[in-house]
Amino acid sequence: MKVFVGDKVLVTSGRDKGMTGEIFKIFPKEQKVVVPGANMYSRHVKPRDGQPGEIRKVERPLPMSKIAVLNEKGKQDRIGFEIKGGTKTRIFKKSGAIAPVAKVAKKK
């Protein structure tokens, strides 16, 4: 996988085309990602145990083919890998700059 949680992305197609955000969650087997605020749908929840029914807005995963990673200048770019001196680094294909990996705290 070339994208990680915390990468800034642009939605390239669909009803949220042009929207930007950070990747919140990744589903590698399904090749999908969740971007907060993008691909929002209404979910109808039935009333139960004294709680009233409601309509919730939920985020659905987007296919990875429908997003583009944004480089340091805020432009669409692709991610590649480069091996120098035995270390593997992520780079942006157009600019050749190193693509940072966001440090995200792991859940315990």
Q: Encoding tokens for residue 46?
A: 């039935």
Q: Say whether pLDDT at 102 is over 80.
A: no
Percentage of the chain surpassing pLDDT 70? 94
Q: Where are the domains of the chain?
A: 8-92
pLDDT value, residue 95: 84
Query: pTM score, two decimals?
Result: 0.79
CATH fold label, 8-92? SH3 type barrels. (2.30.30)
Query: Per-residue pLDDT averaged across 100-108, rounded?
Result: 68
Are 39 and 60 in contact by the 8 Å Cβ rule? The answer is: yes
Q: CA angle, corner 106, sides to 38 and 23, nearest 5?
A: 20
Closest alpha carbon to 101 in 4, 35, 2 = 4
